Structure 1
Amino acid sequence: MQPQIPERRRLQVFPSVHGGRSALTCKYRCGDACSHDVPNTSDNEYLGDVIAKALSRRGLFKGGVAAGLVVGATGALAGSAAAAETDGASSATRWGRGPKGLDFDAVAPNRADAVSVPDGYEPQVVIRWGDPVLEGAPEFDPENQTPESQAGQFGYNNDYTALLDHPDDRRKKVLVCNHEYTTESSMLPDYDEAAPTEDQIRIGLAAHGLSVVTVEEDRRTGALTPVVGDGLNRRITAETPFVISGPAAGSDLLKTTADAEGATALGTLNNCAGGTTPWGTILSGEENFNQYFANFATMTDADQKAKLARYGFSGGASARKWEQYDPRFDLEQEPNEPNRFGWIVELDPYDPEWAPRKRTALGRFKHEGAGPRLARDGRVVVYMGDDERFDYMYKFVSKEKMKSGSSRRAREHNRKLLDEGTLYVARFTGDSPAAEIDGTGALPSDGRFDGSGEWIKLASGTTSYVDGFSAEEVYVWTRQAADKVGATKMDRPEDVEPSPKTGKVYVALTNNTNRGTGSNAKADEANPRNANKHGQILELTERRDDPTSLTFGWNLLLVCGDPAAADTYFGGFPKDQVSPISCPDNVAFDPYGNLWISTDGNALGSNDGLFAVALEGRHRGLTKQFLTVPIGAETCGPVVQEKHILVAAQHPGELSGASYDNPLSQWPDGPGSIPRPSVVNVTTDRFGSIGC
């Protein structure tokens, strides 16, 4: 039996839902980042002057999205493409078979409180917030949650997801998932934002971090079932010790009252996307860490205050009030504590005894994730995006080469690769005349948004390549170092992933409505629209397919939005035959080389979803929607395998006005329940190959 809530907390119908993120999500996820001034005030424009003509406001895609909200019927997972169809969206279903991996009926845009999938596919909830992970953890009881129970249960707001082979049992797999942030007002009964209790704060700390969960696979249906208490199962929280490793470890910039050596940090915060290394460890990006710290406004260290402002710090008390019980979140008491967040962390899911690491060689910023790739010479390259308006794209190239094999010596060697190497930031140049990039999104005369670029060295080991910065300062204040060398301001570079098939690198640029406004940077060829609310996908090709190269070519694969609008582009594919897509966030690849994109904050009025895009041949640019997540949710952490597609449905029902007493979704448990972020597994109804 699923946990029930009292009658007073039944789903409420509300009059309208605006596209994009809700105010509630903005508050708890990123500390209302978009309502604050842009942190990047540098003058880094290298693509030439452009005409300052703002993009005209556009309505919903032609034919509209169903304005009605599906509520109260089942609160269930299921929903076919036919059931989700809305008027005017039938053009999204007219491709025939298409390339291998994309042979499914596109799901139409919708506002259903369900996971909607194509006909012939089955969605299954694998694990939900509060489900037991560790031995002895209790069943979820939302009215009686404790810090101790949450520390043994699946955390809140699942994001990046990996599904790995189990080391000892072919019938099992290992699921790893990030828990980005908590929404206490929706999680906890009797929550007072102005005066949370110590237990409520400790529940929030325990609901952050990561989970490692062994799952058993049903060979007939493909269903995945958690194995509670398995020896590999772990919960990493905001209080788990992390080793600070790499060239900045031990720096005075990382020392605190509790850690005079600058060597051990407690916890990980706001973990967004990630990556899986060639040696089988998990990388996870710490993103909007600034929002957890209080009393920036009254800091007395002017230099530290100015540097923290570049990372979006502002204001007095934090939203969650953790500083009331833990002094490390009070900037007046511990001004260096925030320097211990904003890193890529590395976790070994196969070794519970190995303490997770914060890899300082990869730089400190608002990491969305980390996309690793091996170079031909055996060195590892990691691509990264800094998820902030007008921030940058980075890569890291290791000094040492990966050792093959599974011996203990090889594993120990490989688990140190990310501590030594060179950190770079990207500068993009367009190849079209400046007058042709006017901010409207109109294609230049050569019919493509494209150009070249270079990777600019920032630091390597103890050597800094940035004037006025020591190497330690480059790693801790990476944004300022990148400002100094003239990196290109991008439209929120989030997930950055190399294709396993071609080596080309794909960048999700989610949106940037500040582009071209006021004194902010105007459109350039890589970011061609002012007031960009729908985002784009950039394709990067490095010289001679060598990921250690210092030069690259690039083009925009997609300029997202309403296909009927003049300012959109789908790789040259006919726009009347694609699914509408808005606000790309994470990317993944299927076994056939197709790109899959999950969205966050769809500004076209539909629920967020997962989309497949063909990259080669006559179908290049074909974009088909595979699923939508429930009302108010975001599509995170896509895993696309031959027979499994996993998504993390984050913050279902997180709409303005939602609270524990007024839930605006009943997914996944149905009527009478509160919404619970969950990992969903989609398979064919006969557990066959997906999209074939």
Structure 2
Amino acid sequence: MTLEHPRLLPMADHVRGKRSAVTCQLKCANACLGDECNTSSNPSFRDIASVALSRRALLGLGTAGALALIVGDAATDAPAAQAAGAAPAVPAGAGLSFGPIAPVDKAVDAFVVPEGFSWSPIIRWGDPLFADSPAFDIHSQTAAAQERQFGYNNDYLAIVPDASGTSGVLVCNHEYVNPNIMFPASSDPAVLEDRANLYKAAQGMTVVELTRPAVGQPWSYVQGGARNRRLTVETEFELTGRAAGSTLLKTIDDPSGRIVRGTLGNCAGGLTPWGTILSGEENFNGYFTAPTVSAERKRYGLAALTTSTTWERYDPRFNADNPGYENEPNRFGYIVEIDPQNPTAMPLKHTAMGRFKHEGANVIVGDDGKVVAYMGDDERNDYLYKFVSKHKYNPKNNPGARKQNRRLLSDGDLYVAKFTGNSAAEIDGSGRLPSDGLFDGTGEWVALTHKGESAVPGMTTEQVLVYTRLAADLAGATKMDRCEDVEPSLATGKVYIACTNNSDRGKAGKNAPADEANPRNGNRDGHVIELTEVSGQGGTRFAWNILLLCGNPATDSTTYFAGYPKEQVSPISCPDNVAFDSEGNLWISTDGAPSKIGTNDGLFKVPLEGPERGRVQQFLSVPRDAETCGPVIHDQDGLVFVAVQHPGEEGAWEAPHSLFPDYVDADGGGKFRAPRPAVVQSWRSSAL
């Protein structure tokens, strides 16, 4: 039989959610077209008894504390980046004011910034990382070369300056690959196997050093930097937490159940106060074929399929029915932690933080000194989680403190959210604002583990941590519209939840009726929730309200912008990643606007306080077919960073949709023909 790599074609009737058919297959293995993973009958808001406390009374009980912390690293004397995406300390400036750009039509292949700003890539797919790395040659790619070059489809982004402000490190996830635009079509078995090995090298994570001539200037990456590193599908990771060593995690290659080869589907992430990077393993199920279906496998979307990477043809661990590899899928779906200052340190996978399709994790230090991490499960009708560490953060800058802090996420308690609406009886799926003028209510964090042990009757601790979705089902958690990035503000302690969309909300037979936190049936544009802890950051009670119901207000009457006049905002669809600037404003990157409102994805600024609260303003637009990832806002430094993922996704090698970021065509005398995912920086031109 002749082997062929599956070629993917855009089909208009394929897409039910926010993405193109190509992205759906490659990124999440057509999750929206498969069977619903969550078939539990957890109650909606209208079935939950209302909490007998007013919103005002709840908010009066207490405020969430947060420590905006800067710590140093012994090796570099570098200030560690603040949690939740906040910018590091730099000389004070005028902030980042700009004139919002107009939406850019989805057929336009351009990176667009406001008037007075410039942009340039810092690093692109294939750029050499090490002194001996080969230069990128798109016509002669190898796995060995790719292991020493910047990976493909960059997603989560961190820019961590050193104390000098003129050096630092960039850390980036590489979520998945697209064979359609990386290579010409082939049916040669040897070529296809070589490419499958290259896909392993193109995914994972990159750490690369940065340099610039002065604070406020754009960055360049350093080939051969001492901290440069690639983590791939073959890199070893140490499992931590109480599931480490469990029989659920043992394989023929790792009978100890403690060392995992590789990380998969790395999506968003976060910076910790102690200077490490967190990365979420998201759509890991799409890398495995699993012909024997169990309840546990089905709940995680595992099925018999031909994967887009075809690894199951060449590597036995990616067929979960192969003897000795039945548990291999259980070893993915965790929060990964790496030390960007130490390229030899073994990265960690934290089982105490649960296993699901982690979009990412973002950390804040509560007023009791314990670390709290917020996490979303990026699946239709799945849940919002948080983790509270057992031990307290040590702010001292010495080796002992750093060692202690880098184990904080290995032991603690895991919670899942249950929401209650204040106007539940008025919610009918239309998205109409309730009579009290707010989508709001209260909520409870339900413990899945208590003092590190199972809090779910009938499940062991190991089962809760490995089959976390099933534990959350039993806990009666609220089904959400795809919680992607979840980040706390260091300025206020409030938590912002990007619910990207859920086209199945309210659909017959899907067991997820509209509720006040997810008030629109067929929610294709998504929304953003603002959550306020009312019994301390590590407590079990919260209040919440919807900040934004996204969409184009010119064509969608259900849009809502925290009460700000709709005619004065930029259209926004499918919120994905969020970040904060030094003034406490929220910045939102999007993933899916082309398929819904007909414009390219972008980055948007949203004030959270004062008369401009809810005023969405578009800062930039990414090229055709691309998704906006990252972002990082160093407004006092005058710089904004995004990772441009899957530009030209719907094209093909023979007919590219994009030539970003170099915009040269081999047929026209240029060097490259395919688009190259890249990390981009934008700055005010007048500042130079």
* Structure 2 residue aligned with 1:339: 330
Does 2:666 align with 1:677? Answer: no
1:195 deviation in Å? 8.4
Unaligned runs of 5+ in 1: 1-13, 51-99
CA distance in 2, matches of 1:342, 1:528: 29
Question: What SS is found at the alignment partner of 2:644?
Answer: strand
Q: 1:320/1:192 Cα in 2 relative to 1: closer, same or farther (>3 Å)?
A: farther
* Structure 1 residue aligned with 2:79: none
State the AA in 2 paired with 1:213: V
Does 2:103 align with 1:109? Answer: yes
* Structure 1 residue aligned with 2:315: 326
* Structure 1 residue aligned with 2:125: 129
* Structure 1 residue aligned with 2:74: none
* Structure 2 residue aligned with 1:606: 599
Does 2:566 align with 1:571? Answer: no
Is contact 2:162-2:168 (8 Å) kept?
yes
Q: 1:569/1:192 Cα in 2 relative to 1: closer, same or farther (>3 Å)?
A: farther
* Structure 1 residue aligned with 2:613: 620
Is contact 1:102-1:612 (8 Å) kept?
no
* Structure 2 residue aligned with 1:78: none
Does 2:397 align with 1:393? Answer: no
Q: Which of 142, 145, 153 does residue 146 from structure 1 map onto?
A: 142
* Structure 1 residue aligned with 2:375: 384
Does 2:506 align with 1:516? Answer: yes
CA distance in 1, matches of 2:394, 2:454: 28
Please show how residues 29-178 of structure 1 align to structure 2 within 5 Å.
Answer: 29-48=27-46, 101=95, 103-111=97-105, 112-166=108-162, 170-178=165-173
Q: What whole-Å deviation, never above 9, does each CA across 1:396-446 have from its counterpart, x for those lacking one?
A: 000101111221111110011001100000000000042x10101000000
State the AA in 1 paired with 2:309: R
* Structure 2 residue aligned with 1:528: 519
Q: 1:117/1:16 Cα in 2 relative to 1: closer, same or farther (>3 Å)?
A: farther
Question: What SS is found at the alignment partner of 1:186?
Answer: helix
Identify the range of structure 1 (184-193 vs 639-648) with the bigger mean alpha-carbon deviation.
Answer: 184-193
Is contact 2:159-2:168 (8 Å) kept?
yes
Q: 1:366/1:640 Cα in 2 relative to 1: closer, same or farther (>3 Å)?
A: same
Q: Cα RMSD between the aligned structures? A: 2.0
Question: What SS is found at the alignment partner of 1:235?
Answer: strand
State the AA in 1 paired with 2:102: A
1:16 deviation in Å? 14
Question: What SS is found at the alignment partner of 2:45?
Answer: coil
Does 2:225 align with 1:218? Answer: no
State the AA in 1 paired with 2:130: L
Does 2:625 align with 1:632? Answer: yes
Question: What SS is found at the alignment partner of 1:48?
Answer: helix
* Structure 1 residue aligned with 2:687: 687
Is contact 1:217-1:224 (8 Å) kept?
yes
Does 2:442 align with 1:445? Answer: no
Q: 1:193/1:667 Cα in 2 relative to 1: closer, same or farther (>3 Å)?
A: farther
Question: What SS is found at the alignment partner of 2:372?
Answer: strand
Q: Which of 657, 661, 665 does residue 654 from structure 2 map onto?
A: 661
Is contact 2:232-2:263 (8 Å) kept?
yes
TM-score by length of 2: 0.87
Is contact 2:18-2:501 (8 Å) kept?
no
CA distance in 1, matches of 2:95, 2:502: 31
Q: Which of 327, 331, 353 does residue 344 from structure 2 map onto?
A: 353
1:192 deviation in Å? 4.5
Question: What SS is found at the alignment partner of 1:29?
Answer: helix
State the AA in 1 paired with 2:458: G
Is contact 1:509-1:535 (8 Å) kept?
yes
Q: Which of 467, 474, 485 does residue 477 from structure 1 map onto?
A: 467
Question: What SS is found at the alignment partner of 2:227?
Answer: coil
Is contact 1:646-1:680 (8 Å) kept?
yes
Question: What SS is found at the alignment partner of 2:448?
Answer: strand
State the AA in 2 paired with 1:530: N
Question: What SS is found at the alignment partner of 1:142?
Answer: coil
Is contact 2:165-2:215 (8 Å) kept?
no
Q: Which of 281, 304, 307 does residue 315 from structure 1 map onto?
A: 304
Identify the range of structure 1 (401-410 vs 117-126) with the bigger mean alpha-carbon deviation.
Answer: 401-410
Unaligned runs of 5+ in 2: 1-10, 49-93, 666-672
Please show how residues 199-348 of structure 1 align to structure 2 within 5 Å.
Answer: 199-219=194-214, 222-294=217-289, 296-297=290-291, 299=292, 305-333=294-322, 334-348=325-339
1:518 deviation in Å? 1.5
TM-score by length of 1: 0.87
Is contact 1:329-1:337 (8 Å) kept?
yes
* Structure 1 residue aligned with 2:449: 459
Q: What whole-Å deviation, never above 9, does each CA across 1:259-280 have from its counterpart, x for those lacking one?
A: 0000100010110000000000
CA distance in 2, matches of 1:332, 1:193: 27
Is contact 1:163-1:175 (8 Å) kept?
yes
State the AA in 1 paired with 2:538: T
Is contact 1:20-1:601 (8 Å) kept?
yes
Q: 1:525/1:241 Cα in 2 relative to 1: closer, same or farther (>3 Å)?
A: same
* Structure 2 residue aligned with 1:69: none
